[in-house]
Amino acid sequence: MDPITLILLAAAVLLVLYGISLYNNLVRLKHNVSKAWANIDVLLKQRHDELPKLVETCKQYMGYEQQTLEAVMQARNAVAQAREAQDIKAVGKAETQMRFGLGNLFAVAEAYPDLKASESFQHLQARITGLESGIADRREFYNESVNLNNIRIEQFPDTLIAGKFGFKAADLLEFEDEQKADVNIKALFG
C-alpha cells in the first residue's frame, strides 16, 4: 500500500471515530436532560401527593379561607396535567401559580394559631417546604443539563451530527417573575 493511501485511510478512520465520539457525547447530554427531568418529576409527584393532606388539615381550621385552599388545589392539578403532558413551559407556568398559592396558604395560616400549632400542619409544611427546596435544586441541575445540550447541538461540527440524527433542543424550566416576588401579606388580610 502506498503512503498516500495509508494516510487517507488513517484520516478516514480518525474522522469516523471523531463522528462516533460526537454522536456519543450528544446521546449522553440528551439522556442527562431526561434524567434531570425525571429527578424533578419525582419531587413534583411527591408534592402532588402531600398537598391534599395539607389542604385537608387546613380545612379543619380555616373554614373561611376556601378561595386560598381551592387556588392551591387548582394549581396542583395544573402542575399534574402539564407534568403528564411533559410540557416543560406549562409546568413552569403552573409551578408559578403553585408556589404563589402555597405562599398565600402559609401566610394565611399565620392568622390561625391552632392550625400553626397542629403537629400535622407543621409536619406537612416542613415536608412541602423541603420538597420545594429539592425542586429548586433539581431545577437548577435540569436547566444546566438543558443548556449544555442546547449549546452542543448548535456548535459546529456537532450541529451536523445533531441535525442528521434528530437531536432536538430542550426547553428550560422557567418560572414567571411573579413567583419570585414576596407574598403581599397586607392584601391577604386587608
pLDDT above 90 coverage of the chain, percent: 56
- Return the higher-pLDDT residue of 65 and 163: 163
Q: What is the CA radius of gyration of the chain?
A: 24
- Return the higher-pLDDT residue of 183 and 110: 110
The answer, yes or no, to whether residue 120 has pLDDT greater than 90, is no
Tell me if the pTM is above 0.75.
yes
Distance CA 111, CA 122 (A): 15
User: Who's near 146: CB < 8 A, 6+ residues apart?
Assistant: 33, 36, 170, 171, 172, 173
Distance CA 62, CA 161 (A): 58
Look at residue 56 in the predicted model and tell me its pLDDT: 86
Residue with cell 385552599: 69
Question: Per-residue pLDDT averaged across 51-79, rounded?
Answer: 85
At residue 151 the predicted structure's pLDDT band, cuts being 50, 70 and 90, is very high
At residue 105 the predicted structure's pLDDT band, cuts being 50, 70 and 90, is confident
CB of 138 closer than 8 Å to CB of 40: yes
Helix axes 66-84, 3-59, angle to 10 degrees: 160
SS3 172: coil
Cβ atoms < 10 Å from Cβ of 154: 11
The answer, yes or no, to whether residue 181 has pLDDT greater than 70, is no
SS3 153: helix
CATH no. for 29-189: 1.20.1440.20
Distance CA 181, CA 107 (A): 14
CB of 95 closer than 8 Å to CB of 79: yes
Average pLDDT value for the chain: 87
Distance CA 156, CA 137 (A): 31
Look at residue 70 in the predicted model and tell me its pLDDT: 87
Question: Per-residue pLDDT averaged across 168-189, rounded?
Answer: 63
Look at residue 57 in the predicted model and tell me its pLDDT: 85
**Domain spans in the chain, listed from the N-terminal domain onward:** 29-189
At residue 64 the predicted structure's pLDDT band, cuts being 50, 70 and 90, is low
The answer, yes or no, to whether residue 190 has pLDDT greater than 70, is no
Residue 165 belongs to what H/E stretch? helix 158-165
At residue 177 the predicted structure's pLDDT band, cuts being 50, 70 and 90, is low
Distance CA 27, CA 167 (A): 8
Alpha-carbon torsion, ordered 180, 142, 34, 147, to 10 deg: 110
